[in-house]
Amino acid sequence: MRGLPSSPQSRRLHPAWIVAGVAFLALLGAAGFRAAPGVMIVPLEEEFGWSRTSISVAVGINILLFGLVAPFAAALMERFGLRRVTTFALLFISAGSALSIFVTASWQLILTWGILIGVGSGSMALVFVATVVDRWFVAKRGLVIGILSAGSATGQLIFLPLMAALVDSGGWRQASLLIALAALAVVPLVLIFLRNSPAELGTTRLGETPEASLAQERSIAAAVSSGLGPARRAISVLVTSSRNPTFWALALGFAICGASTNGLVGVHFIPSTHDHGMPESTAASLLAVVGVFDILGTVLSGWLTDRVNPRILLAIYYAGRGISLLVLPLLLSSTLQPSLIIFIVFYGLDWVATVPPTIALCREVFGESGPIVFGWVFAAHQIGAALASVAAGFVRDATGEYTWAWIAAALLCAVAAGVSISIRRTPERVH
């Protein structure tokens, strides 16, 4: 029988922080493609003559898989470990991005951007954050969720200006190769430093007693030895959690979150500003500024989640986002105005701020199954994003502008705010 894990009190740096650091770098390295569509849509239109709708379909499939793969990736991490799943995910992203430079037809874009990168990035989605935090942290969970969730935002901050410059100077293929190399560069760090659990090092989660750590290790072992494969485990958690109204409230709110961020602003902000005469490089820089304030907003939201009712935080975040989207059509022009900068700052602060309170509610209500439940909630996020990316492209092709897409997203955010504040407080644990 394995003894109690040793307490890490004598160590200067808890191993959890090393794992969190590597996880942050892995999320940063995988973030390149999240910045790609907005920069590459117009160059692809100009080179191949494809419609914005057809390109949006490839992006929509990527966004959809980015979400649908997440709960199964969580179950795979539960069974095979963080290190192995994360390595394969990064290799998929790198391969899909590298192969995309050879596309000559829109179906090939669907295969590379949509499927390969979609599966890889889906395995590196925010469910990865939830799993790392659940495996390694008891104390400071909200803060660490905020920091790790900001990894993708940091990647956006780094990649967007670089990709915009590469597209302007050498074409979109160079930008695709940059994504491939960035994802590949993180693989050695993951293989060397990303540990699957504290038990591998004979220690405990940060802020946990040895007795509680042993109970956690037994819980994980029981899930692995339950006889359910990763797919059946993910489906089993979905079936059980879907009987709880809180699951549907979280899923609906997060679907609207995805529609109003990744699906709409993330994909169509740059093309929309281009319609108003603003240079793509300027618009890409604005989205990079979103990344700067996204980091601040997400870390602050994580800190607040440790202290404030997450239902209240979600309602405030969604309501503010809806108001900002409602006024956005009035702010767009060929030149950069102070009012648009104010929008960018606010939207950056709000962009991923919803993640820490959503993960906290999944953990509060669904217990040890929280990461997998969050995987399904995140799948809803990406379904909303995929639908919005395609719908906005259709609105643009049909009307010649994006105005109705911005207004529809604003109204949906009001719905998300109402649903979030109404989430019941009674925990119902799912195992």
What is the span of the domain harbouring residue 366?
14-421
Any residues with CB less than 8 A from the CB of 111 and at least 6 apart, and which? none
Class of residue 138 by CB neighbours under 10 A (exposed 0-12, middle 13-18, buried 19+): middle
The pair phi, psi for residue 137, each rounded to 5°, is -130, 140
Strand partners, 137: 206
| SS3 category, 276 | coil
* Predicted pLDDT of residue 314: 97
Closest CA to 297 of 325, 336, 329, 261: 261
Closest CA to 379 of 369, 387, 367: 387
State the amino acid at position 54 in one-letter form. S
* Predicted pLDDT of residue 40: 79
Q: Is residue 4 part of a domain?
A: no
Handedness of CA 361, 367, 370, 376 (dihedral sign): negative
Between CA 143 and CA 219, with CA 72 as vertex, the angle to 5 degrees is 65
Residue 182 to residue 34: CA distance in whole angstroms: 13
Q: Is residue 64 part of a domain?
A: yes
Q: Is residue 6 part of a domain?
A: no
- Residue by residue, DSSP assigns 24-88 as HHHHHHTTHHHHHHHHHHHHHHHHH---HHHHHHHHHHHHHHHHHHHHHHHHHHHHH-HHHHHHH
Q: Is residue 2 part of a domain?
A: no
Q: Is residue 183 part of a domain?
A: yes
What CATH number should be reported for the domain holding residue 209?
1.20.1250.20
Question: What one-character DSSP code corresponds to residue 206?
Answer: B
* Predicted pLDDT of residue 1: 42
Q: Is residue 35 part of a domain?
A: yes
Residue 246 to residue 252: CA distance in whole angstroms: 10
Q: How much is the pTM?
A: 0.74
Closest CA to 136 of 298, 303, 10, 19: 19
Q: Is residue 427 part of a domain?
A: no
- Buried-exposed string 75-110: b where 16+ CB fall within 10 A, e elsewhere: bbbbbebbbbbbbbbbebbbbbbbbbeebeebeebb
Torsion of CA 280, 107, 60, 324, to 10 degrees: 20
Between CA 51 and CA 396, with CA 337 as vertex, the angle to 5 degrees is 20
| SS3 category, 137 | strand
* Predicted pLDDT of residue 76: 84
| SS3 category, 253 | helix
Question: What one-character DSSP code corresponds to residue 105?
Answer: S
Strand partners, 206: 137
Between CA 154 and CA 149, with CA 304 as vertex, the angle to 5 degrees is 25
* Predicted pLDDT of residue 226: 53
Q: Is residue 104 part of a domain?
A: yes
131 CB-side CA count, 13 A: 30
CB atoms within 10 A of CB 400: 9
Any residues with CB less than 8 A from the CB of 330 and at least 6 apart, and which? none
pLDDT in tens, the chain (431 residues): 445 455 554 457 889 999 999 999 888 888 776 667 767 778 888 888 888 778 878 887 887 787 788 888 888 888 888 899 999 999 999 998 899 889 888 888 889 888 888 888 888 877 888 889 888 888 888 889 888 887 777 777 778 778 878 888 878 888 888 888 988 999 999 999 888 888 888 888 888 766 565 555 555 555 555 555 677 888 888 999 999 999 999 999 999 999 999 889 988 898 899 888 888 778 878 877 887 888 889 889 989 998 999 999 999 999 999 999 999 999 988 888 899 999 999 998 998 899 999 999 998 898 878 888 988 998 899 889 888 988 998 898 889 889 999 999 999 999 999 999 999 875 544 44
Domains: count for the chain: 1
